[in-house]
Amino acid sequence: MQVLTKRYPKNCLLTVMDRYSAEVHNMEQVVMIPSLLRDVQLSGPGGQAQAEASDLYTYFTMLKAICVDVDHGLLPREEWQAKVAGGEENGTAETEEVEDESASGELDLEAQFHLHFSSLHHILMHLTEKAQEVTRKYQEMTGQVW
């Protein structure tokens, strides 16, 4: 298991990011055969499978992909926009909308910062829990539970 070496305040975004990264790296070390996670549903409260939930393999690959961005940073804006535009036509409409708002000067940047900051904090906490669940379920499936 990967240990956190940096010390930040408990609810600091950096702490949450480090915890997420450590948990995903731990998941990668434990899950030796990711294909075993295919078609296995994540259990919800009471041990019942969650309706319309992705299988554990999908969670595994998503968590790893997000961890790359957390560990190494995002793509430059131009590359990200090109990637989004190549995959979806809605990306240009969203970009134009943001540019219109920026040009009008009506953005409350502090309020937006707090909204996105708290959302990111919440999402990273949720993703950390998912990485722990994938690891635990894999250990149960392979008999590695101690």
What's residue 107's pLDDT?
63
What's residue 146's pLDDT?
62
**Residue 61, domain extent:** 9-42+52-73
Low-confidence ranges of the chain (pLDDT < 70): 1-6, 44-53, 77, 80-81, 83-84, 87-107, 145-146
What's residue 8's pLDDT?
79
| Residue found under tokens 């949450």 | 16
Q: Does residue 133 belong to any structural domain of this protein?
A: yes
* Residue 15 CB-density burial (10 A; 0-12 exposed, 13-18 middle, 19+ buried): middle
What's residue 104's pLDDT?
47
CA distance linking residue 15 with residue 114, whole number of Å: 17
What's residue 114's pLDDT?
84
What's residue 34's pLDDT?
94
Residues 13, 65: one domain?
A: yes
CA distance linking residue 141 with residue 42, whole number of Å: 12
Number of domains in the chain: 2
